[in-house]
């Protein structure tokens, strides 16, 4: 764990207990001085679920791969064999609402899924990767 400023000093963040947070080394290095996200209370947002969201209610038995912040599972309406969805564990309305650590976690699973699919079927010669963002992208 490392202690870091919420608002970076080079963005006029103060040296006070109100501007400190503990982050793991990886999160701190990825955060750099590019944002002023306050991560101290972030764990609570991972407990929130939307009862009408299909992704908030994925049964554990459907999850094929996961890490701390994301999960991968088969699509209910696959376009091709091996069609998987990778979503954040936190309920988010849009891709653009995700924290960088969640985007990194999704990318990590994307690479793992690619590797696993190619082990299962070495003849796979390409992948389609898409992002549906917002209500209008659903249909």
Q: How many CB atoms lie within 10 A of CB 105?
A: 21
Domain locations in the chain? 2-40, 49-134
Pick the CATH number of 49-134 from 3.40.47.10, 3.30.420.40, 3.90.580.10, 3.30.428.10: 3.30.428.10
Question: For the segment 84-134, what is each residue's pLDDT rounded down to a tens digit?
Answer: 999 999 998 889 988 887 888 899 999 999 999 999 999 999 999 999 887
Whether the CA torsion 4, 5, 6, 10 is positive or negative: it is: negative
| Alpha helix segments (H runs only) across the chain | 25-31, 100-120
pLDDT digits (tens, 9 = 90+) for 31-81: 766 666 666 677 777 778 888 888 888 998 999 999 888 999 999 999 988
If you search the block for the tokens 């209008």, which residue do you land on?
A: 136
Distance CA 14, CA 12 (A): 6
């Amino acid at each position: 764990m490392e202690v870091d400023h919420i608002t970076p000093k080079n963005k006029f963040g103060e040296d006070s207990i109100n501007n400190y947070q503990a982050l793991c080394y990886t999160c701190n290095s990825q955060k750099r001085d590019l944002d002023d996200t306050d991560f101290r209370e972030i764990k609570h947002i991972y407990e929130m679920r939307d009862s009408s969201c299909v992704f908030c209610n994925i049964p554990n038995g459907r999850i094929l791969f996961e890490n701390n912040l994301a999960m991968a599972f088969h699509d209910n309406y696959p376009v091709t064999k091996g069609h998987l969805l990778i979503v954040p564990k936190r309920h988010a309305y849009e891709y653009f609402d995700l924290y960088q650590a969640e985007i990194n976690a999704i990318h990590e699973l994307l690479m793992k899924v690619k590797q696993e699919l190619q082990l299962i079927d070495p003849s796979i010669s390409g992948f389609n990767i898409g992002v549906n963002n917002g209500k209008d992208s659903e249909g």
